[in-house]
Amino acid sequence: MLFIKTPVKGMPEQLPEDMVIREYVMRQIKDAYRLYGFNLIETPLIEHIENLTGKQGGENEKLIFKILKRGEKLAESGADDLCDSGLRYDLTVPLARFYANNMDKLPNPFKAFQMGYSFRAERPQKGRFRQFIQCDIDILGDATNLAEIELILATSEMLSRLNLGKFKVRINDRRLLKTMALASGLPADQLDTVFIILDKMDKVGLDGVRDMLKEEGFDAAAVEKYVALYQGMNDTYQSSRSYLTERGMTDFDPAVTDNLDEIIRVSADLLQDKAQIVFDPTLVRGMSYYTGPIFEVELETFGSSVAGGGRYDDMIGKYLGRSVPACGFSIGFERIFAVLKDNHFTVPDTHENVAILIDKKAPKEKVRTAIEEASVLRAQGNRVLISWRNSNAKFQKEQLKTAGYTRFIEIFKENYS
Amino acid sequence: MLFIKTPVKGMPEQLPEDMVIREYVMRQIKDAYRLYGFNLIETPLIEHIENLTGKQGGENEKLIFKILKRGEKLAESGADDLCDSGLRYDLTVPLARFYANNMDKLPNPFKAFQMGYSFRAERPQKGRFRQFIQCDIDILGDATNLAEIELILATSEMLSRLNLGKFKVRINDRRLLKTMALASGLPADQLDTVFIILDKMDKVGLDGVRDMLKEEGFDAAAVEKYVALYQGMNDTYQSSRSYLTERGMTDFDPAVTDNLDEIIRVSADLLQDKAQIVFDPTLVRGMSYYTGPIFEVELETFGSSVAGGGRYDDMIGKYLGRSVPACGFSIGFERIFAVLKDNHFTVPDTHENVAILIDKKAPKEKVRTAIEEASVLRAQGNRVLISWRNSNAKFQKEQLKTAGYTRFIEIFKENYS
């Protein structure tokens, strides 16, 4: 029989030192959201193929790991019909199904929190795997911006606990994005193309956006008018209404800007100097299912985007045949883990870590005494490893020091301990 | 598009109230084993089909969820060759592969701890799912009974933390099982059949075992001799050596009994009245890969087996082409969860749980004040849910009480709050 030592392509293995960090981060995230009244739930890793291919997953639907039918079902199937389930590629499709199936047992509004593996058959890259932890928080059944504010505050609590320094929350609204494009004379049926280009602003700059829009064949006057709306931007806007008014726009829905500006104002007041909350009219967010406010959270110290989300009122209700207001955040767990690991983060440890190393030839009574000593130390709250002393004890102790052991008790064959 | 509201057959969904218990139990288990120097690791959920079908998984190999190849690989495959990976059915196959692949980065001996989902396409039953949490602790690279003793002590710590009452650890050794059968004259090539019948002792009694062995066609004299070895048993043996000697057996390996009796003596001394450690010559344990001591842990109060394991020296090394001593325990997480749930276990909660319910028509300033109040309460360590007050507020509050909220702050439209 041939055994294969390496993991399946793109599959992650977590070594002990990484798991210590990962476990710590997971607990901090779970504890923070629990404090804010979110409910941890779990949905299955395996989902109906019909639900996974319902056109809500965009490009991810091309990356599904499909599961072969079994037994009779497989025997009765043709080549095109081998699978009726697959591994989930996100937590949103399962959440919508879960909510429809369990709604009568859940509070309304329902504040959901999920953390678990998703799977995508993407090309593996350094630090990017085909199995990865996703972490989603969602408020279902609340159409008001209390949902957005709570999501921002809870996420801020989570980031504070991890000591990730100051962060910036960028906010925009899908409806304002549309208003700005339409008011400039860009065509309503090509807004997705416009936004894909606008989304590149931080890489190509405003001139780059102008060039790309023109290359795409949009009307030059419309492009100039559109680009003018983003001229001379900075990164400190606190009001979408002022922003638009100052640029001479009048034909926007004040209910939309007021809603957005209230989110910014209340969050900024409560978070004070922990975070900067800004209106960013260039923020797009990839998924087209967003219907209202959208966010992105960025760590200032590490220059890394660690969370994002928005309101998507038309999706959760698909299983129920009616609209369910919904607003959610995805926390980039794997990103946060990578930032902490790259910065040599050490998990705060309240235990003393003691390693008792016993010579393999030590007499039985000494082994027994060592086991008893370990019990006493553990009862005092110390973490104690009891292990045989290797012939290369120096290397062994170096390795254990790396793993956090600070105190060594060595039990020798003779009585020179 | 047709969406399906119910989960895929046999797949579990975890509601908030169950997740509170599950999360608590997981943390207690993780913390207990960490205190004993075990290292949490994670292996992928997807494994090579070659590794999953290597005959180590016994009956479980018939229950694999196989994953369809993708793209070109699938196009090039025949009907018998559609899959090159599958979902793991246990944590032992992945552990063996992980150890072979990462051995140079791991301490020796390596104390491994895993907790994660496995998948088996079994017939779903009440409380039994096709996706379930497994929890394994293993010590690799230690041929001595220090491994067995540490596993028993750490598992005892875990059970104590969960307040599951007194428990009993039954111990036997695969080699003694064999010795007893062979000394009675039962045939060496049919020991598996003998042990499957012996394993039914707790259901059919000693007479039942005698009848079944005879029905199976074993020599009557051998059966009588064998059954005599188990005559008049009780549940308090502390020494396998005395047990065998008292029954007139002489042809056993004293190294095996002394090893076993030392495990019993040291564990019993250290655990005192927390647990009862007994030699149980009828203990079989299903999997045939065990090579030495085997255990089973049973809760006395709930009459439930919650952990089991043993030494399996010939398996981990298969990927390395050499023997690696190994000893492991499987914790029945789903069983423990079921026991706690059935007994209406409530998780100790140090927070005060406060629900702020706001009338939907309350003025904006009152909403804002409520959000500020929530922030203050949270900063004081309370868990605070801030939510809209439903028209049926009585039902809403009942639901929230069930979810653990003990204090309600209601914000009304008018100032009669």
Which pLDDT value is given to residue B417?
45
Which pLDDT value is given to residue A127?
76
Taking only residues 215 to 274 of chain A, the set having a beta carbon closer than 8 angstroms to any beta carbon of chain B reads 262, 266, 270
Residue A225 Cα distances to A174, A175, A215, A222, B51, angstroms: 19, 18, 16, 5, 62
Burial A117-142 (b: 16+ CB within 10 A, else e): bbbbbbeeeeeebbbbbbbbbbbbbb
Instruction: List, for residues A367-384, the tens digit of each pLDDT value.
Output: 999 999 999 999 998 999
Residues of A in contact with B388 (CB under 8 A): 109, 142, 144, 146
Is B16 in contact with A39 (CB distance < 8 Å)? yes
Q: Topology of A16-165+301-342 in CATH?
A: BirA Bifunctional Protein; domain 2 (3.30.930)
Give the phi and the psi of residue A239 in degrees, each rounded to 5.
Answer: -145, 125
Listed in sequence order, the DSSP H helices in B220-277 are 220-228, 240-246, 254-271
DSSP B390: P
Q: How far is A274 from chain B (nearest CA, A)?
A: 14
Outline which parts of chain B fall under CATH 3.30.930.10: 16-342
Nearest to A97 among B5, B358, B383 (CB): B5
Q: How far is B27 from chain A (nearest CA, A)?
A: 9
Which pLDDT value is given to residue A308?
94
Task: Pick the closest to residue B113 from A349, A335, A15 (CA basis).
Answer: A15
- Tell me: pLDDT of B55 over 80: no
Q: Tell me if B8 and A66 make a contact (CB, 8 A cut-off).
A: no
- Tell me: pLDDT of B101 over 70: yes
Inter-chain contacts counted by CB atoms under 8 A, chains A and B: 250
> Which of the four pLDDT bands, split at 50, 70 and 90, describes residue A125?
confident
> Which of the four pLDDT bands, split at 50, 70 and 90, describes residue B414?
confident
Outline which parts of chain A fall under CATH 3.30.930.10: 16-165+301-342
Instruction: List, for residues A34-86, the tens digit of each pLDDT value.
Output: 999 999 999 999 999 999 998 777 788 899 999 999 888 888 887 778 899 99
| Percent of chain A residues topping a pLDDT of 90 | 79
Instruction: List, for residues B177-188, the tens digit of each pLDDT value.
Output: 999 999 999 999
Instruction: List, for residues A237-278, the tens digit of each pLDDT value.
Output: 999 999 999 999 999 999 999 999 999 999 999 998 889 999
Q: Best residue in B2, B4, B120 to probe A by mutation, most A CBs within 10 Å?
A: B4
**Chain centroid, CA A295 distance in Å:** 13
| Percent of chain B residues topping a pLDDT of 70 | 99
Taking only residues 324 to 343 of chain A, the set having a beta carbon closer than 8 angstroms to any beta carbon of chain B reads none
> Which of the four pLDDT bands, split at 50, 70 and 90, describes residue A315?
confident
Which pLDDT value is given to residue B320?
87
The tokens of B343 are what? 């007994």
- Tell me: pLDDT of A292 over 60: yes
The tokens of B49 are what? 């089909």
Task: Pick the closest to residue A1 from B52, B173, B362, B146 (CA basis).
Answer: B52
> Which of the four pLDDT bands, split at 50, 70 and 90, describes residue A327?
very high
- The CATH architecture one would assign to domain B16-342 is 2-Layer Sandwich (3.30)
The tokens of A28 are what? 């901090």
Q: How far is A224 from chain B (nearest CA, A)?
A: 40
Instruction: List, for residues B104-153, the tens digit of each pLDDT value.
Output: 999 989 999 999 999 999 988 887 899 999 999 999 999 999 999 999 99
Q: How far is A328 from chain B (nearest CA, A)?
A: 16
SS (H, E, C) chain A: CCCCCCCCCCCCCECHHHHHHHHHHHHHHHHHHHHCCCEECECCCEEEHHHHCCCCCHHHHHHCCEEECCHHHHHCCCHHHCEEEEECCCCHHHHHHHHHHHHHHCCCCEEEEEEEEEECCCCCECCECCEEEEEEEEEECCCCCHHHHHHHHHHHHHHHHCCCCCEEEEEEEHHHHHHHHHHCCCCHHHHHHHHHHHCCHHHHHHHHHHHHHHHCCCCHHHHHHHHHCCCCCCCCCCCHHHHHHHCCCCCCCHHHHHHHHHHHHHHHHHHHHHEEEEECCCCCCCCCCCCCEEEEEEECCCCEEEEEEEECCCCHHHHCCCCCCEEEEEECHHHHHHHHHHCCCCCCCCCCEEEEEEECCCCHHHHHHHHHHHHHHHHCCCEEEEEEECCCHHHHHHHHHHCCCCEEEEECCCCCC
> Which of the four pLDDT bands, split at 50, 70 and 90, describes residue A417?
very low
Is 0.90 topped by the overall pTM? yes
The rounded mean pLDDT for chain A is: 92
Instruction: List, for residues B188-213, the tens digit of each pLDDT value.
Output: 999 999 999 999 998 999 999 999 99
Which pLDDT value is given to residue A1?
56
> H/E element holding B289?
none
> H/E element holding B327?
strand B326-331
Which pLDDT value is given to residue A191?
93
Which pLDDT value is given to residue B225?
96
Instruction: List, for residues B241-296, the tens digit of each pLDDT value.
Output: 999 999 999 999 999 999 999 999 999 999 988 899 999 999 998 767 899 999 99
Residue A385 contacts B where some CB pair is shorter than 8 Å:
yes
Residue A385 Cα distances to A96, A370, A398, B150, angstroms: 45, 11, 14, 10
Residue A289 Cα distances to A184, A310, A311, A328, B86, angstroms: 23, 9, 9, 12, 32
Three-state DSSP class for residue B404: coil
